[in-house]
């Protein structure tokens, strides 16, 4: 079964990096540019992994994370925080809400892959003949 990966980040560049990173693998990639859309999308697709930005316009990533954890179907969904902040209260709160990991910005695709590989069984797409 194909893995579903959702990226919630207000930066188009970040969403593009995630999408490009996972394109060679058998997975479906979804994107949301704000917290509200991210929550709605998560509830409808039930992703296997979420990359979640902390600093966003409408609702920050921690608020999104809290709402995910309050939703039964998304309570245990692995979430990796994409963060520019480190060693502060955001991280502490995110830890309480059971995140699967952190990737500090700016990051490279390999860092996302390394984290994702601990959670998903990613298979390279076999080239069509
Ligand atoms: Mg942001």
CA of 53 to the centre of ligand 1 (A): 6
CA of 125 to the centre of ligand 1 (A): 30
Beta bridge partners of 4: 28
CA of 55 to the centre of ligand 1 (A): 4
pLDDT tens-place string over residues 19-69:
999 999 999 999 999 999 999 999 999 999 999 999 998 899 999 999 999
pLDDT tens-place string over residues 70-111:
999 999 999 999 988 655 678 888 888 899 999 999 999 999
Domains in the chain: ranges and CATH: 3-117 (3.40.50.2300)
CA of 67 to the centre of ligand 1 (A): 18
CA of 21 to the centre of ligand 1 (A): 19
CA-CA distance, 78 to 129, in Å (whole number)? 34
CA-CA distance, 63 to 55, in Å (whole number)? 10
CA of 59 to the centre of ligand 1 (A): 10
Backbone angles phi, psi at 33, to 5 degrees: -100, 0
Residues with CB under 5 A from ligand 1 (ion): 10, 53, 55-56
């Amino acid at each position: 079964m194909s893995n579903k990966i959702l990226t919630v980040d207000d930066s188009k560049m970040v969403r593009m990096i995630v999408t490009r990173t996972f394109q060679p693998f058998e997975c479906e990639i979804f994107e949301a540019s704000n917290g509200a859309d991210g929550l709605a999308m998560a509830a409808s697709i039930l992703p296997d992994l979420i990359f979640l930005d902390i600093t966003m316009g409408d609702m920050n990533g921690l608020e999104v994370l809290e709402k995910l954890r309050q939703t039964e179907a998304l309570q245990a969904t692995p979430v990796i925080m994409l963060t520019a902040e480190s060693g502060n209260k955001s991280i502490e709160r995110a830890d309480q809400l059971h995140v699967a990991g952190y990737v500090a910005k700016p990051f490279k695709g390999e860092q996302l892959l390394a984290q994702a590989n601990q959670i998903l069984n990613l298979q390279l797409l076999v080239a069509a003949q």
